[in-house]
Structure formats: structure tokens, C-alpha cells
Copies of this chain bind each other. A is one copy, B any other.
């Protein structure tokens, strides 16, 4: 029986998952918490925007988790042999670039830079480069609007070139010492395959396309002339970056001797080209044409795909549209909500910190579940952390309307859930307005698995069945799928992602179907949500608002009357 290993690098830890390639069964798993900094993140008390990571943690994590998985598998099954493992796949957070020397050593591993945080991995949530992001956005708007059209219209401070430009501007010593910069997802495939020069790295299409404005339509990375206007040194760096990128069906290389020995794995088994966690997470959940995967956590990532060769307009407000970023042969379409679980956590931790008995998610969910749609008379906007899709505006904030002197915490809690559901519907509608029909919605992440009320509300609001991924580790599973595909059919893997997903990715039996009478009420409430959404979120609105409170009360009255 062949197995594959999926490695999922999160913000605070790495997880290895040993998967049966025949049916996707998860045999063993192991987690390694990064020891460096605060929960694995190097921070700076004088700059709350700074977030860095130590690449050594990643490597120690691989060793610890893979060995542990194998050990557990051996313990569970006397017949298990590490030789049955046919490949390794990797997903990571990003954009998280790191400066490396000519031999791909992290600068942070050099004695002279070991105390300099700028020589470490610039973690996705590092926001030190906001000024540079603005500068890049403005230049692109003027000279290359097509660069932005594929990434939501704004180049983010979280992304590749913003961070590198910020390093160039603020720490030229590190910048000059760096031969090149790698997303750490590419650094990890380089390490495992023993690549020691830039040319031997097979960079991730997903990372490059979503974060570095890479697109074969315009010849790869942004043109030299564009980077030169930002800084001549950035244009020089372009030569030492990459001009080809790869999808995750491709083998980045064989597992090198050194690491094969270290991990007790067969040498030269394929290591798949890596990708970002949400994208391989979507694969693990079973993404496909017409299938939207919602990865629901503190925020959401909403991913679907669209076949290459079929016409696809730019869809305003999407975070990214990248050929091959999710599935080879498809455009990966990424949308998202800036806060979902974070909004519920805010309410519980900041507004209702009353302990398990009174103010917990469980208790509020229990009470909120007894309310009918519309019964509270409340309506909220889910913008406590801005709006990623479809408004792409971080400077939006929350709104709650309809409260009376009797409004109770569980009513607000439910209104916040409903708000995120309305936000989810707005994303689905945006896809469909531009011709991307969504026929199936698959949810994954802790909230989707653990909170049936939320899933039922999502079904009732969207009027669509909500399915849940069988795996609770879709990212690691997606990486294992990539490993199985890069290994190929002959080795016990698969020829294509479609084949692998069919065998390895399932949904749970229990799904959530819309209840018609609830959906009818939510249709009315969504019109009011959309009115608030457009009024507060767009410059084009010039309508009336006086109906909103009255309409909510009328809906409330009709609910309590029935």
C-alpha cells in the first residue's frame, strides 16, 4: 500500500500527515510547535507591524514530525514500511519571503546576521512594508493596471516585493548581502531536494502568481523597467529571481540523500512543487470547476477554479486569479472574508468575557440557535476587520443596527453569524455575476466542522446545501494529494489531481440543506444587508436608508406573529 506525506506549515507550527493514497485515509499525524519567538513568531516590542520567523524551526519541524509519523505508523501496523511512502507535498503560509545567499543558505544562518530580524523569514502577517505597498500600488495603477487586475486591485504590504523593497530601503546591508529572495515554500523544496543554486529551485506558481505579480501573459515577473522605477537595485534583483514557475503536480526534485537519511525515507522519492496552504487546502477539500471551497477560520479563504481556455473576465474584488495556482490546467480564483471566527471571538472575548457558563461560544450558540431568522430585528455588517472581497477595503469597520432596550447577547451573536453568511453570499454572487457558476459549496476548518448552527445559517442564507470536508486537515491532505500526483500512477500515485481528489478527498455524510421558510426571510434580510453594504462600502450609493429600521421591525413582527 502506497502512502504520501503532506507537510502543512502554519503560523505557529508545522503538521505532518501520513495518508493512504488509495482512499485518503489519514494514518498518522504529528505537530511541531516552532520554538523561536512568541509562538514561533519573532516580534518587536517597538514595532507591532513586525513578524518574522526562523527557518531553522521549519527544518527541525520536518524532522520531528515526519519521524514521529513514521514511528506511530510502525507502532500501529507491524507491516508498515517507510519504503511505502511515495512522495512528499508541502504547503505553507505566504507571502513569507526570506533572503538567501548564493548557495540558498538563509542569511539568518550566517553569523553576521543572526541577530538581525531582517535576515529571517518575513512572515505573511508582517506589515512593516505598508508604505512600499502603497508605492507599488500607485505605480502599477499608473503604468501596469493589469498587474493589479489579477490580485484584487491593491498590492498588499504582506506581499513579496513590498517586503523586499522595505528591506532595501531600511536595511541595505541585509538587502545587499542577499543573493536572492525565496518564498519559504520554495526554500523548503530546495532544501529537501538538495538544490544549492537558484537555477535548481522550482518556484511555486501559486506563490509567484498571487504575491509577486508573476504571469506568463506579461513574461513572468513585473518587467524590469517597472521595478527600476521603484528602485534600480530591485531591477537588478529581478535577474536573480526566477522566470519560470511550476504547479504542484510537478516534481520539484527527488528527496536528497542527506534528508532521506535524516527522515529514514527512500532517497529520490518526489517532493512536489509547493503551494500556499489555502490553495492546497482547497485541493484537499475537493475543489473543482463549479465547486467553491470555503476554508473558514479566523478569516475565510474562498477558492474555486476555472478551466484554462474558457473565457474568464477579470472579476473585480477577487484577491487573486492565477493560472495553475490551485489545480494545473485551471485558473485558481481566490476570494475571502477578512474576519469570520475573529468576529465571534471578538464578541466572546472582548464584549462577553463571562466564562463558560454564560459567555462562551457554546452557550451563545445554544441560545442563538433557538432564535428564528429575523426575530431579533438586528442586522450587522461583517467588517470589523475590513472587507477583503468584494470591496477590497481594509478601512471599513463593523456596524450593528436594530438594537432595542431588550436586545440580548445571543441575538447579537446570531446577527454576527448572519452577517458573515451575508458576506459569504456576496462573494458567491460576485463569482456568478461574472460567469463563474457555483454548483457546490464545500466547507472546511474548525468552525465548519464544529458549529452546525453556523453551517445551517450559511445554508439558509445562501439557499445552498453546505457540505463539509471529511478531513479536518485539508491543507496537509492537499499536500499529500500533490505528493501522490507528482509521484505518478506507476509509483502508486495518480496521473492527475482530478483522479487523486476523486480517490482521496471526501465530504462528510452530514450536510446542511436550506430550510425554505428561513431562506425566504433571509432573502429579505439580505436585501437590507446589501443596502447597507453598498451605502457604507461604495462611493456609488446615493439611495435612501430610512426603510432599514422599519423593514427590520416589520420582519421581526411577522416572525413573532407566525
Contacts and interface: CB of A to CB of B under 8 A. Distances in A.
A544 B542 contact: yes
A163 B450 CA distance: 53
A401 to B, nearest CB: 5
Interface in A381-400: 383-385, 395-400
Nearest to A536: B545
A385 B398 contact: no
B377 A403 contact: no
A538 interface: yes
Contact of A404 (B345, B384, B549): B384
A178 interface: no
A256 B544 CA distance: 62
Contacts of A412: 351
A403 B409 contact: no
Nearest to A383: B549
Contact of A396 (B385, B396, B544, B549): B549
A351 B409 contact: yes
A552 interface: yes
A272 interface: no
Contacts of A384: 403-405, 407
A350 B351 CA distance: 11
A539 B409 CA distance: 31
A397 B543 contact: no
Contact of A350 (B343, B397, B408): B408
Nearest to A535: B545
A354 interface: yes
Given A350-B406, A409-B351, A536 B548 contact: yes
Given A353-B354, A395-B550, A399-B403, 9 more contacts: A343-B405, A351-B351, A351-B409, A351-B412, A384-B403, A395-B549, A398-B403, A399-B399, A399-B400
Interface of A: 339, 342-343, 345-346, 350-354, 358, 377, 383-385, 395-409, 412, 535-539, 541-546, 548-550, 552-553
